Amino acid sequence: MAKRNKQYVCQSCGAVAAKWAGKCESCGGWNTLVEEIIEVAGPKSLNPKSGRAIDLVGLAGQDTPPPRRVSGVAEIDRVLGGGLVPGSAVLIGGDPGIGKSTLLLQVVARLSKAGRCAYISGEEAIDQVRMRAVRLGVTAAPVELAASTNVRDILATLDAADGPDVVVIDSIQTMYVETLDSAPGTVAQVRASAQELIRLAKKRGIALLLVGHVTKEGTIAGPRVLEHMVDTVLYFEGERGHQFRILRGVKNRFGPTDEIGVFEMTEAGLMEVPNPSALFLADRRDDVSGAVVFAGMEGTRPVLVEIQALVAPSPFGTPRRAVIGWDSGRLAMVTAVLEARCGLEFTGRDVFLNVAGGLKITEPAADLAVAAALVSSLTGAASAADTVVFGEIGLSAEVRAVGQTESRLKEAAKLGFTRAIMPARRKSKNAGAGLNAGLQIEEIGQVSTLAEKFLAAENGASVRRLAKPH
């Protein structure tokens, strides 16, 4: 009989320890080690002759890949790279109440019109899922519902020749395998449950959608190996104070990893936003200092968003630097460049930066727009309402060129902007061809010229003199 042994597994990183400790030595988390029982068999070595030889084939194949399952929700299909791939596993994570279950119920309701779809809930009863379906107006969709957490029962239901084509598991942290003694949600249960479900999905060609909980740091709960096991990882982001929701791809074996889908939360569920730029700029005011429109890129989609900055005297000895929607490290770099290279003073002043609408910006092209917003708030001069700004800033105060300039300018022109402040274009034989998009282009090479070019019409004075504290 196999001997039973104990081990302690970190619920944050999956590290294994021989004895319990208050702190995990791998990730530094406190009170994350949980006892698990393992079956220890006697020492054996694998005999190669007892195994079954596998077939080795070449890279070039004759089989054509099966067509993707288009959900009909354009924003999701964009993030997935054109639709669901049969036999793939998609992990969707997000904060509680952000709308993961609502989104997936809407997706399977549309997919059920072209194939058999199953929605298996481990957190809610069937009546609760039906109540959500009534609110979303999808009760007529032929979606098959079930409430179960036993992986063995789920596999027995799905493992059939006429089984469903798309399966939603809500959520993977509630599933458990009977052969393990640990509780549902632990590292061992999450890993084993996901492995069994993914194995069946590959075998039967099922498009598997897994819902994952997230930790307080915003990462998907459970072992990191869970994200390596699946084919696609999507994060559903959004601020509770905003109606916008962002579906962002961070891993995708069958498509791009930098696309986003934008949704708006309404009483009837999540609605697609085909033109997010117009929605993000809907409440913009033209006469406020510290507000600048940034022309950014999210994957292949240009997105215009307002960046707001507020520079105010600090009542404390150490000024505050608060950032929402951007990298705080890059804000520190931009303010340091403005101080060291341009003579502007932020000493003794609090700096607050916000990306309006709840969008999170990650690309360095926002540096110049942030610098313009900081200068605008510092001097009290409002920026021009018809101007967009983008460009990367280096430590020597140079403004560096960024990619996909033409797409940014076309989106700005489509929304009625007439002026763009941007880095100097790279020299090429096609330089200038089709890039203006009907806009007045102002190219700058140094951050020191930003305030003079951007605010000369408003204040007509020296930026250095205006920047001195009174």
Which among 256, 206, 287, 230 has a CA at the least distance from the CA of 458?
287
Query: What's the pLDDT score for residue 278?
Result: 84
pLDDT band per the 50, 70, 90 thresholds, residue 46? low
pLDDT at 463 over 80: no
Same domain for 22 and 82? no
Structural domains of the chain, count = 3
What is the gyration radius of the CA atoms in the chain, in angstroms?
Answer: 27
pLDDT at 26: 82
Could you say which of 213, 246, 274 is where a domain stops? Answer: 274
Q: What is the CATH number of the domain that holds 105?
A: 3.40.50.300
53 domain residue, yes or no:
no
From 228, 259, 274, the end of a domain falls on 274
Percent of the chain at pLDDT exceeding 90: 47
8 A C-beta contact, residue 69 and residue 111 = yes
**Whether residue 91 is found in the same domain as residue 225:** yes
User: Residue written as tokens 């007892």?
Assistant: 50
CA distance 284 to 465: 29
Tens digit of pLDDT for each residue in 407-459? 999 999 999 999 999 998 766 544 444 456 678 998 999 998 886 665 554 55
Are residues 191 and 231 in contact, defined by beta-carbon separation less than 8 angstroms? no
Name the 3-class secondary structure at 241.
coil
| DSSP-based three-state secondary structure for 182 | coil
* Whether 18 and 115 share a structural domain: no
Length of the chain as a residue count? 470
Helix (H) or strand (E) holding 279: helix 276-280
Alpha helices in 112-263 (DSSP H): 126-136, 151-158, 187-204, 225-229
Q: Do 214 and 311 share a domain, yes or no?
A: no
What is the rounded distance in angstroms from the CA atom of residue 160 to the CA atom of residue 167?
13
Q: How far apart are CA 440 and CA 418, in angstroms?
A: 6
Looking at the predicted structure, is the pLDDT value of residue 201 above 90?
yes
Inter-axis angle of helices 328-342 and 367-379, nearest 10 = 60
* Same domain as 253, residue 293: no
Looking at residue 434, its pLDDT comes to: 45
Domain residues for the domain of 14 are 3-41
Q: What is the DSSP string of 32-88?
A: -EEEEEEEEPPP----GGGS-PPP---S---PPPPPPB--S-HHHHHHHTSSBPTT-
| Domain stops at, among 245, 274, 303 | 274
**Cα–Cα distance for residue pair 348/469, rounded to 1 Å:** 9
HSE-up of residue 223 (Cα within 13 Å, Cβ side) = 21
CATH number at 338 reads 3.30.230.10
Of 182, 118, 179, nearest to 147 (Cα)?
A: 118
Residues 254 and 370 in one domain: no
Cα 56 off chain centre by: 37
Whether residue 62 is contained in a domain is answered as no
Same domain, 270 and 283: no
User: What is the DSSP secondary structure assignment for residue 29, as one 8-state letter?
Assistant: -
Asked whether the predicted pLDDT for residue 469 surpasses 50, the reply is no
Q: Prior bond to 462 cis, omega within 30?
A: no
Sign of the Cα torsion 28, 31, 32, 35 reads: positive
Nearest to 298 by CA among 378, 241, 244, 372: 244
Predicted confidence (pLDDT) at residue 279 exceeds the cutoff of 90: no
Which one, of 82, 178, 74, 176, lies nearest residue 122 by Cα?
A: 176
